[in-house]
Chains A and B, each alone.
Chain A
Amino acid sequence: MTVTPLGIPRRLLEFTIDGEPVRAPEGSTILDACRSAGKDIPTLCEGDTLTPKNACRVCVVEVEGSRTLVPACSRRAEPGMEVRTDTERARHSRKVVLELLASSVDLSTTPQVAEWIKEYEAKPDRFGPDAARLNEEPKVDNDLYVRDYDKCILCYTCVDACGEQWQNTFAISVAGRGFNARIAVEHDAPLTDSACVYCGNCIEVCPTGALSFKSEFDMRAAGTWDESAQTETTTVCAYCGVGCNLTLHVQDNEIVKVTSPHDNPVTHGNLCIKGRFGYQHVQNRG
């Protein structure tokens, strides 16, 4: 059961989206309001449990009076705002952003992005065969999870989840600058030499599959990963008294990874190493 705290009632703001009057509670973002109004805006770097860093710029919309487009995921709605979500200008930026991303990183495991690329008629190939790409080898340096930064869009959500927003371990950060910016641990060392405590909260928020369970990584490599054949069961972690919710992803009667419901008001999708990775004892059948 998920308990939703009610909190203090908030004032409603009135503004318009695509000419339609809408009302949204004070403090909501344009994206929140759009979603409640049934408008679909693509998002990549926005994580539902985190304060968005608005780095990907795929959610941009037009706001009357603003010189540039504004990121819907993080701009707060204001009374009287006139928001346009689907103008030629906004669509153009989204298209180019999708092209820029898809031309520089591997988006093959990013959910939904293929649909958006189609919808916005993005053509990542048009930058030519010599367009600079990341082309990095996956970093497999521990038994729990793999960092495949060739798929990383630098959305900063893993950094925020590992750092001040949730885990407070600060094991990973952005290093370098510009096109050379990368997620890295201190001194670019292997994960095993870093401050990482293997809570896996970064994997939970990574929108592209750049961070994944070693089990998933291996099964993908072997061609046996099959999401359609998986079942998900949410249960309670039995390790300690906190009682976090775990969602077990099971394929062929084996747990293949563990996630956690984001709408749980206590854990918000975060776990510790035991809940996230300590599931082998369940399937020891020997």
Chain B
Amino acid sequence: MDLHFGDSKPTDDERAAVDALLGPPESSWEGADRSDADLRWARGGREARDRRDLLLPGLHAINDRVGWISDGALDYLCRRLTVPPAEAYGVATFYAMFSVKPRPATVLHVCTDLACAAAGASELCAGIEAGLGPGVHVERSPCLGLCERAPAALAIRAGDPVRTAVSAPATVREAVLAATAPDSAPEEPSAALAVPQAGSSDLILLSRVGVVDPASLDDYRAHGGYTALRRAFELGPAGVIREVTDSGLVGRGGAAFPTGRKWQATASQPDHPHYVVCNADESEPGTFKDRVIMEGDPYALIESMTIAAYATGAHKGYLYLRGEYPRALRRLEHALVQTRARGLLGDDVLGQGYAFDIEIRRGAGAYICGEETALFNSIEGYRGEPRSKPPFPVEKGLFGKPTVENNVETLVNVLPILKMGAPAYAAIGTARSTGPKLFCVSGTVDRPGIYELPFGATLGELLELAGVRDGLRAVLLGGAAGGFVRADEMDIPLTFEGTREAGTTLGSGVVMAFDDTVPLPRLLLRIAEFFRDESCGQCVPCRVGTVRQEEALHRIAERTGAAAADDIALLREVGRAMRDASICGLGQTAWNAVESAIDRLGAYE
């Protein structure tokens, strides 16, 4: 590799941001001033090249400090890591939270996604833009994962340290305040506020949210924390996998793959090291359950990851966290420091001679990075493009090694499984969908939030709890990648098999209600726009198909019946090819919601 760097130099600030992450450079080959020794020997870049995975943290470091990534800053980072600048440029321009063009230090992300749109996001945006001076860059954003408090806005001000402030439910005045004075913005309400059932004794997964102090390891232990890990050490890795398999737990991220099988497949791979990756890149519009768990019960996630690692023989775990979750990041970072200090992570976990540690990696605004293989690429410092499968991650995942990847909700289910035992856990729910399930309810309901119910409750029962309003028109199940159902389909059982039989999907557990004041065609356009924005661009059916679908929806936005028929036929043809021929789930599901709106709701009749 012969690297070429232009002559743009980093500013002192940019250099400091990178050096704070990587330490000072050791030779001129790494970007330091030239010394006599440098003239006589060249140190190969191999060592540095092995740290390619620090590219994304490096881009964050610059963006956090300066607000954007200049040529000089990018080149300096590349020099430090021996990454070709063209590739790093490709990575930097992949993520929505980075900019390679100068912009103001403060960026205000205003959510214009489904729940927020239904709560008046466009008026909010207009008001904010009118009320803000030139010092703030307003960015219309996809779902910020604050849907229970829609409409939502997130201000990020670059500097050392970077400052963030959330305004939700946002008013023009509060959002402007958050952007202009993030330091004096009021503290966000407790995570428990997103859990209407908080404190109820029926809760299993959410039992500690709002009950324990998320900053106190002792409090977590006083509420049953780390008993599951002790149990795991008693059972041994094979015993843990047996329990998880017998519990019937399947992945909660949307794919519903049996967790025990995944763990077993990873554990039995001869190739080492093994990795555990927690997918906390919750970006499905309408999902916020992972955020609430991480903010309200962070130690539970760390304990669960430790168990997953122990069972699958991994000694290193990555927690890939959505870039838009500053509070979850703070809480988890704090929890990691505490658990390390108390021997619950590190060389000798719980004195059992088992080594395990977790590193947090922040995403930077790319829905596609929730796809497991795209997530690996993102951690590794490549563009977050999905890889084609096979090979599957259990065989060749992160850094090409056997990897078990689970989302937050799936992982925290492991705690009750070990505590109550597989049979008792499997007795919850239905025969084929076992255990408790979290639902993110938002939209036009009185008490939006996360609900925990045993599998098998009906849609109507859930919406009843959340305070469904009169005039319900449609419910979107499973988020933008899911599908709409009608207001008269309230008896759909909320199980994997029940929703499948009803011709829809449970997806990740999103339940968004829309009453008849919400303009359906606008909603569908927003969904199309979302997928067009979030396509990685790798394969043609998705890259161009999402654009053509959005165009067709624009054409028929004001039309119905025969006038829309041609474009609906076109949508179907393109949608079918996208579903059949796209590389990954994004392209394959991008047309689901719109199709269901046409077929089930008669959207353009």
Residues of A with Cβ closer than 8 Å to B? 53-58, 60, 68-69, 71, 74, 89, 92-93, 95-97, 100-101, 103-104, 126-128, 130-132, 153-154, 156, 163, 168-181, 184-189, 193-195, 197
Contacts and interface: CB of A to CB of B under 8 A. Distances in A.
Given A128-B555, A132-B551, A168-B1, A101 B580 contact: no
A174 B87 CA distance: 8
A100 B548 contact: yes
* Residue picked from B74, B543, B544, B577, most chain A C-beta under 10 Å: B544
Contacts of A92: 573, 576-577, 580
8 contacts: A57-B582, A60-B581, A68-B588, A71-B388, A97-B540, A177-B93, A186-B84, A187-B74
Contact of A89 (B3, B540, B555, B580): B580
A176 B366 CA distance: 12
B579 interface: yes
Interface stretch (B23-31, B133-141, B300-308, B528-536): B528-536
Interface of B: 1-4, 6, 71, 74-75, 84-90, 93-94, 100, 366, 383, 388, 532-541, 543-548, 551-552, 555, 570, 573-574, 576-577, 579-583, 588
A257 B551 CA distance: 41
A97 B581 contact: yes
- Interface SS of B by simple majority: helix
A207 to B, nearest CB: 13
Contacts of B581: 57, 60, 68-69, 93, 96-97
B535 A177 contact: yes
| Top 8 A-B pairs, shortest CB-CB distance | A181-B537, A170-B84, A195-B4, A96-B577, A186-B85, A173-B90, A100-B544, A93-B581
A184 B86 CA distance: 7
A173 B89 contact: yes
Given A92-B580, A168-B1, 7 more contacts: A60-B581, A69-B580, A93-B581, A104-B544, A126-B570, A163-B87, A170-B86
Contact of A184 (B89, B545, B548, B574): B89
A170 B573 CA distance: 38
A180 B85 CA distance: 19
Contacts of A153: 540
A131 B549 CA distance: 10
- Interface SS of A by simple majority: loop
A179 B583 contact: no
Nearest to A105: B544
Contacts of B2: 168-169, 195, 197
B534 A178 contact: yes
Given A174-B383, A186-B85, A154 B4 contact: no
* Residue picked from A54, A96, A181, most chain B C-beta under 10 Å: A96
B6 A189 contact: yes
Contact of A127 (B388, B532, B570): B570
Nearest to A188: B89
B390 to A, nearest CB: 8
A179 B90 CA distance: 14
A71 to B, nearest CB: 7
Contact of A179 (B75, B93, B532, B580): B532
A172 to B, nearest CB: 6
Contacts of A175: 89-90, 93-94
A269 B209 CA distance: 62
Contacts of A174: 90, 383, 537
A177 B6 contact: no
Contacts of A104: 544, 547
A93 B542 CA distance: 12
A96 to B, nearest CB: 4
Contacts of A195: 2-4, 84-86
B388 A177 contact: no
A156 B580 CA distance: 21
B543 A68 contact: no
Contact of A97 (B85, B547, B577): B577
A53 B385 CA distance: 11
A55 B90 CA distance: 17
Contacts of B545: 96, 100
B548 to A, nearest CB: 5
